[in-house]
């Protein structure tokens, strides 16, 4: 049984704040402070260039990948860190299209996070070989999978609504049609059990600054199914993905391992912080985490629906079809969210009218959820959302 009081004690949570936005940026693990200091002062400061070997910086992208692997149902040696989720999705899609040269359709849905669609658009434009990005409604994905599809590219859990796709079923359907499946795990990794190997997923990528608490701008990860690794041609063929980077050959020859998906010099300090954050998962059972996340989300929905009739649930009602977040529609959602944040409950807002709340059992408990719903009800009932001070738009909330 996972001890969630113990995991909570491992985070720095600011005084007076209930943090329901770990689905955007996870909070600071206490141990990350000292680990970052060590990386900066003891490794960089004292060892200088020698730290690439002596402090294990060179192997870090693979070592950290191997620590993420069990959280997403991946085998050792199938996950490597680097770059951003956008770049990792691009690598996955480029490799997929090269493995299905005769097919022209990239199938996605309108609930996908825009950057995945944008990166696909950019790749398709570059390739100029008649590929088409076909974007259907999330509920229409299954029916749209046919033998024209090269890549099924989906985000597992919708960033806005928390709606979760059936990864096993859609991947199987894609395979039956001869397509490959690429999954974006941004809102899944660390939020719920994922079984990449069991679902025979072809490629996956995710970020680590949300539920994995790696800090702002922590590197992304990419997963490649073991039997694809040697076939996946890196489109972004950087020197650290070379079979022997320090031979400085003039011609590229990809590594035979997952490291072929490395590109340039990894962000050592950010990755060290992430490595510290991953320690917390050593004692976490993903099934227990999932059960707890559902309990907390259900409690929040119940309390908010009972007290805020002006808000309507924008997430699936069935918890089995939701990730670890819940959204409510409210016409004045932007101002209401700002008013709520001013009162210490941090969620966020997604256009056009969604108030979004994430439930991370590692550091959020029942009392937090009850109190958050209570403060939200106060904001809605009290009309704080009508205060002009909360209406000015900022880039991110």
Q: Which residues are catalytic?
A: 113, 184, 209-210, 356
Judged by CB under 8 A, the number of residues near a second copy is: 96
> Which residue, 126 or 312, is less far from a second copy as judged by CB?
126
> Which residue, 30 or 175, is less far from a second copy as judged by CB?
30
Residue 53 beta carbon to a second copy: minimum distance, rounded to whole angstroms: 5
Which of these ranges, 46-54, 70-78, 288-296, 364-372, lies near a second copy under the rule CB under 8 A? 46-54
Residue 102 lies near a second copy (rule: CB under 8 A) = no
Which positions from 180 to 219 touch a second copy by CB under 8 A, shown as an x/- string? ---------------------------x-x-----xxxxx
Residue 231 lies near a second copy (rule: CB under 8 A) = no
Residue 32 lies near a second copy (rule: CB under 8 A) = yes
Residue 135 lies near a second copy (rule: CB under 8 A) = yes
Residue 140 lies near a second copy (rule: CB under 8 A) = no
- SS3 string, the chain, reads CCCHHHHHCCEECCCCCEECCCCCCCCEEHHHHHHHHHHHHHHHHHHHHHHHHHCCCCCHHHHHHHHHHHHHCCCCCCEEEECCHHHHHHHHHHHHHHHCCCCCEEEEECCCCHHHHHHHHHHHHHHCCCCEEEEECHHHHHHHCCCCEEEEEEECECCCCCEECCHHHHHHHHHHCCCEEEEECCCCCCCCCCCCCCCCCCEEEECCCCCCCCCCCCCEEEEECHHHCCCCCCCCCCHHHECCHHHCCCCCCECCCHHHHCCCCCCHHHHHHHHHHHHHHHHCCHHHHHHHHHHHHHHHHHHHHHHCCCCEECCCCCHHHECCEEEEECCCHHHHHHHHHHCCEECEEECCCEEEEECCCCCCCHHHHHHHHHHHHHHHHHCHHHCHHHCCCCCCC
Which of these ranges, 62-70, 111-119, 286-294, 319-327, lies near a second copy under the rule CB under 8 A? 111-119
> Which residue, 5 or 246, is less far from a second copy as judged by CB?
246
> Which residue, 286 or 384, is less far from a second copy as judged by CB?
384
Residue 239 lies near a second copy (rule: CB under 8 A) = yes
* Window 298-357: residues binding a second copy (CB under 8 A): 341, 346, 348, 350-351
């Amino acid at each position: 049984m996972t001890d969630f009081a113990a995991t909570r004690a491992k985070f720095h949570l600011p005084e007076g704040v209930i943090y329901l936005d770990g689905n955007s940026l996870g909070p600071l693990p206490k141990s990350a402070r000292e680990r970052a200091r060590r990386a900066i002062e003891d490794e960089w400061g004292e060892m200088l260039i020698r730290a690439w070997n002596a402090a294990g910086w060179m192997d870090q992208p693979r070592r950290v990948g191997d620590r993420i692997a069990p959280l997403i149902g991946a085998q050792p040696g199938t996950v490597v860190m680097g770059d951003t989720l956008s770049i990792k999705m691009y690598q996955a899609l480029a490799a997929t299209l090269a493995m299905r040269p005769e097919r022209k359709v990239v199938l996605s849905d309108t609930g996908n996070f825009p950057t995945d669609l944008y990166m696909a658009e950019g790749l398709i434009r570059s390739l100029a070989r008649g590929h088409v990005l076909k974007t259907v409604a999330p509920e229409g994905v299954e029916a749209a999978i046919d033998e024209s599809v090269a890549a099924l590219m989906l985000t597992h859990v919708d960033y806005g609504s928390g709606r979760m796709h059936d990864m096993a079923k859609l991947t199987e359907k894609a395979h039956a049609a001869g397509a490959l499946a690429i999954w974006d795990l941004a809102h899944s990794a660390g939020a719920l059990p994922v079984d990449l190997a069991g679902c025979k997923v072809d490629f996956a990528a995710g970020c680590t600054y949300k539920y994995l608490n790696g800090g702002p701008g922590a590197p992304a990860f990419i997963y490649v199914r073991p039997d694809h690794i040697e076939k996946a041609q890196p489109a972004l063929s950087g020197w650290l993905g070379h079979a022997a980077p320090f031979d400085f050959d003039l011609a590229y020859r990809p590594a035979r391992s997952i490291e072929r998906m490395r590109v340039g010099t990894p962000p050592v300090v950010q990755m060290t912080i992430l490595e510290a954050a991953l320690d917390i998962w050593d004692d976490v059972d993903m099934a227990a985490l999932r059960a707890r996340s559902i309990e907390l989300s259900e409690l929040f929905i119940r309390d908010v629906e009972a007290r805020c009739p002006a808000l309507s649930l924008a997430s699936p009602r069935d918890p089995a079809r939701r990730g670890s977040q819940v959204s409510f529609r409210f016409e004045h959602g932007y101002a209401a969210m700002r008013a709520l944040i001013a009162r210490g409950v941090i969620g966020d807002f997604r256009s056009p009218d969604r108030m979004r709340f994430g439930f991370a059992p590692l550091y959020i408990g029942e009392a937090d959820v009850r109190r958050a719903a209570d403060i939200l009800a106060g904001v809605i009932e009290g009309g704080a959302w009508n205060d002009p001070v909360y209406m000015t738009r900022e880039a991110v909330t």
